[in-house]
Structure 1
Amino acid sequence: MSSSNRELVIDFVSYKLSQKGYSWSQLEEEDENRTDFAAEEAEMDGVLNGSPSWHPPASHVVNGAAVHRSSLEVHEIVQAADVRQALREAGDEFELRYRRAFSDLTSQLHITPGTAYQSFEQVVNELFRDGVNWGRIVAFFSFGGALCVESVDKEMRVLVGRIVSWMTTYLTDHLDPWIQENGGWERFVDLYGNDAAAEVRKGQETFNKWLLTGATVAGVLLLGSLLSRK
């Protein structure tokens, strides 16, 4: 089964929204039918079309031709459904481990339609400042999902589609190369499938050591590195 990065992001965000009683399909329909946000969209263009601080990595070269492939293309062995399920479970475990700190994560950002992109960019850049690992990828998805939920909670539903697009772009441009070089999503399923992260937690004698209080936004997200040292 093939699946795009966008579909993976949508599945995760949809799952997180459903946990709070929200419907992705309903939000998507509202977005399609929305006709009174033209002025707001024009205002946001300046932000969205600005030059982000990250830059796409060099494309891979195959037989002399530059190409960029999604890590979830047809050639991937692992089924997309397995990836989605493993990512959902890992995200739930991440949020459970850091529940107290994570609960205040998005509220610390004071998201508005005019500041959402800058806040997203700042946090994600800080998260991957020291490199990529599977734990930080899980934290990335958890952050994006929480940001979408926060947006709906605060009656800023228009932001959900934008956040999904920002996540998809970053995943494709910056995380795919690392994913491909580290066993692909098949490796992720090996590490996190069958609720593996929860099983590890249950075997720990001092679960509370994983819980932090009063952490900064960046600090909370960097805890994702603890989920995987592999």
Structure 2
Amino acid sequence: MPGALREETVQLMADYLQHRLGGGGGGGAAAVLPPSRTAETLRRVADELESRERPSFRSACTAAALPQEPGEAAALLGRVAAQMEAEGGLNWGRVVALVVFAGNLAAALAERGARDQTAALAEALAAYLAGEKREWLEAHGGWDGFYHFFNKHGSDAADQNSTISNAIMAAAGFGLAGLAFLLAVR
């Protein structure tokens, strides 16, 4: 099971980062389709959070002074994950916030010609979530738990979007502006 969880996590993180960077790179419609219902949910929920908090995430990436050496971006992501967890523990909203931060970091790196660091970011996210936080992830139903958390059945689409939006912001529960400060003083 741990191997399967890690594999699924790597796939989800890589898919989201490629989605955030504008596609799968292979061209064609099939390259941009999510590989699973969980991947589709992650894209949707992360896109909503990124859309709502775009200035905060971009500010955080600017404050990060974008690492130039391979591996530095992944190390930065690890420090952000540790800080988020220290501010109140892990929850699905914080997982989404971390994924969105990684997506913004990958986009900023790609703009500077360092798109090759995307795979390292996906691996770092997977190592953190399916490695360090495996027990938490399993206790919360794994990625099926994530899917069900953000896909409550029995409500209409408008109600569903409002529920997702409120859940993200309530669950994230950490100051995105504080993230920029954290990175500025690192």
TM-score (norm: length of structure 1): 0.58
Q: Distance in 2 between matches of 1:103 and 1:214?
A: 10
Q: Distance in 1 between matches of 2:165 and 2:131?
A: 35
Give unpaired runs (5+ residues) of structure 1: 27-79, 208-212, 221-230
Shift of 1:202: 7.6
In structure 2, give the amino acid aligned to 1:5.
Answer: T
Secondary structure of 1:116's partner?
helix
Q: How many matched pairs?
A: 156
1:119 matched to 2:76? The reply is: yes
| 1:217 corresponds to | 179
Q: Distance in 1 between matches of 2:161 and 2:178?
A: 25
Indicate the structure (1 or 2) with the bigger Cα radius of gyration: 1
Equivalences for residues 143-182 of structure 1 within 5 A: 143-182=101-140
| 2:150 corresponds to | 192
CA-to-partner distance for each residue in 1:116-166, whole Å, 9 max, x for gaps? 243222211101223111101111111111111111011112222221221
Q: Distance in 2 between matches of 1:4 and 1:169?
A: 12
TM-score (norm: length of structure 2): 0.70
Equivalences for residues 23-34 of structure 1 within 5 A: 23-25=24-26
Q: 1:201 to 1:185 in 2, by over 3 A?
A: closer
In structure 2, give the amino acid aligned to 1:165.
Answer: E
Give % identity: 21
Shift of 1:218: 5.9
Check the 8 A contact 2:45/2:164 in 1, yes or no: no
Check the 8 A contact 2:130/2:137 in 1, yes or no: no
Equivalences for residues 122-141 of structure 1 within 5 A: 122-129=79-86, 130-141=88-99
1:91 matched to 2:46? The reply is: yes
More helix by share: 2
What's the C-alpha RMSD, in Å, of the aligned pairs? 3.2
Q: Distance in 2 between matches of 1:98 and 1:10?
A: 22
